[in-house]
Amino acid sequence: MIRSLTYILLPILFSLSVSSALFAQFINLRLTVEPELQATVVQPLDFGTQITNSGRTTIQLGDANMGIFSVRAFHTQNIYIDLQYPEALENNEPGVVADIPLELGMAYNNTGSDNPQNSRPLPLNEGMVSITQNTTPEMEAEVWKQMYIYVYGSIVIGNIPNGLYTGNIVLSLDYD
């Protein structure tokens, strides 16, 4: 008797579980999460073609060949900026030992406009800055803000062989 009752209950339980699955509801949810910080190169730093023994070439803040970075972040964020670069650019040819001394500076503009005249220099090429200079209630309606970072400097061309001279310049942005 117990055995026959078990065989009867199993098909009933199976049919109940199948029929409840037929009436299930599904929710298709799609979320878009934007990154908290976005940096793009607007314009690379470009010293152009140089002639041997031409001496010092300088790109000032505001010159057409300075490097420009655009940073987009949440309006209340603070960003730690750090510019690392080699002391000299090195020749890419194997066996050629020659370099070009390099000095760089950096400034930032957190007013929301791309205008180097309104920028502030960062001593030692590093520092903590706010993404926006103004935080009035009207401005907080816009959640995302733009900040611009300008890189400029000089190289000294001495008696060096012709060739391609390069170096890695790294701009690090950390946010809290």
**pLDDT tens digit string along 41-85?**
999 999 988 999 999 999 999 999 999 999 999 888 899 999 999
The pLDDT score that the predictor gives to residue 1 is 41
pTM here is 0.76
**pLDDT tens digit string along 135-156?**
555 655 778 899 999 999 999 9
Closest CA to 146 of 118, 104, 109: 109
Tokens, residue 175: 């946010």
Q: 51 CB contacts (<8 Å, ≥6 apart)?
A: 157
DSSP annotation of 136 reads: -
Question: What is the pLDDT averaged over residues 24-50?
Answer: 78
Distance CA 12, CA 44 (A): 73
Tokens, residue 80: 């730690």
Domains (range + CATH), the chain: 36-175 (2.60.40)
